[in-house]
Structure formats: structure tokens, C-alpha cells
A = this chain, B = another copy of it.
Amino acid sequence: MAIKPKRTRIEDIRRVELVQAAYRVFMLHGLGGMTTARICAEAGMSPGILAYYFKGKDEVLFGMVRYSNRVLSQDVVAHLHQAKTPWQRFEAIVEGNFPDQAFDRNTANAWVSVCAAAHTNTNYAKLQNIFYRRLTSNLASVFLPIISADRFDAIALATSVMIDGLWLRKAAGATITCQKSVALVVQQIAAQLDATELATLQLNVKDQQERLKSIGSHR
């Protein structure tokens, strides 16, 4: 046999366990406080086990980011499936980038830390590109059919920039809910389109007014 017939599965299990433990440590202690010893302790294993299943710490980190990225993208498609109109698809994309369970300060800080580390670590930069490309691709499916490429570029950039900015503020400790974040982005983009465009996308005016309420009056 050229390939091993029944590959041991414990290896895959341990890898996932360690990656998830790394994720938890990351959330708790940040990128700087994430040591191999802590990761292994969090996973309930011996400190040396990491070297057995991974080539090094970087490999765990990379696995971790890929893991949480996949979770996020799954959330987006889950939202997308429930959308009926184009505008609901847009809202679903935005909502998918502010998951209720995950939009907290620790997660935000983790994400920002990765952005910071992307400067020196090529793997992170790659993952970021994948992330932005997917977001742009999703947005294109909504907007490109009805507006020019130039205006789409502006809208896509504005959307992604606001998403990033809101996560950054969350990391800085700002008290922003995901509802408010979604409302801000959606309302902001809606203002960029004229009445006929909004009609084409089948924007529900009532829903929109509902959203507006959740942005202001937070002082």
C-alpha cells in the first residue's frame, strides 16, 4: 500500500485540542502572554507535548488563526442562507462580521494583535488577504450587478474599513454592541445609494428606521 490504510486519528484530535487551547490562552493573555507552557497547561497536557505535534509555536499560532477565521466565515454563510432580498444579503454579510457570541473585547484584541503581527509574520498577512478578498467577493455579489465598479470599490472599502475600525474600538474597550455596529455600517452605506438603487436592492424602509434608533443616544 502506498498510503497508510488507517491513519491514527489521535494525532488530529490532539492538534485540534492544542489549537483550541491556544485560542483560549490567546483570548485570556493576549498574543504576548501566549506561551507554549500555558497552552499545554490549558489543554491539560505536559509542556513538552507541543513539540511532538507541532514543528514549533508558530505552527500552533497559524492553526489558531485559521481556525477562528473559519468559524467567522461559517457565521457569514449561515446568515447569508437566511437572506431573501439583495439588501438582506448585504445586512447578512455585515452581521456575519459581528457575531453575537464573539464580539467582545478579548476577541477584538486578539484580532488586532494578529493584524499587528502580520507586519513581521507572512502567514498572518496571507490570512488577512484571504479574509478581505472573501469580504469583497461577498459584497460584490450584492452590489456589482447594480452599480459601477468604481463606486463599488468605494463602498467595499468603506464597509471593510468600518468593520475593522469597529473591532479596533472594541479592542480599545469601547462599549459598542454588535447591533449598534451593524446598524452603523448598514446605515452609512445606505446613505451612499440613491432611492432607485435602494429600491432595486429591496431595502425595507421600516427595518432601516428601526436600526437608526440603535445608533444614537449612547452618552
* Interface set of A (CB-CB < 8 Å, partner B): 30-33, 105-106, 109, 112-113, 115-120, 125, 128, 132, 148-151, 153-154, 157-158, 160-166, 168-169, 171-173, 184, 187-188, 191-192, 215-219
Contact = CB atoms under 8 A, between A and B. Distances in A.
A109 B119 contact: yes
Contact of A153 (B33, B112, B192, B218): B218
B116 A217 contact: no
A5 to B, nearest CB: 44
Given A30-B119, A112-B115, A154-B187, 6 more contacts: A109-B116, A112-B168, A158-B184, A160-B169, A161-B162, A162-B165
- Would you call the interface of chain A mostly helix, strand, loop, or mixed? helix
B153 A215 contact: yes
Nearest to A113: B116
Nearest to A219: B153
B191 A153 contact: no
A128 B192 CA distance: 30
Contacts of A117: 30, 32
Contacts of A163: 165
A158 B153 contact: no
Nearest to A157: B184
A168 B158 contact: no
Contacts of A219: 149, 153
B128 A172 contact: yes
Given A30-B119, A165-B162, A216 B184 contact: no
B188 A153 contact: no
B115 A184 contact: no
Nearest to A108: B119
By Cβ-Cβ distance, the 7 closest A-B pairs, closest first, are: A150-B216, A165-B165, A161-B165, A164-B165, A113-B116, A109-B119, A191-B191
**A125, A165, A187, A192: most-surrounded residue (chain B CB, <10 A):** A165
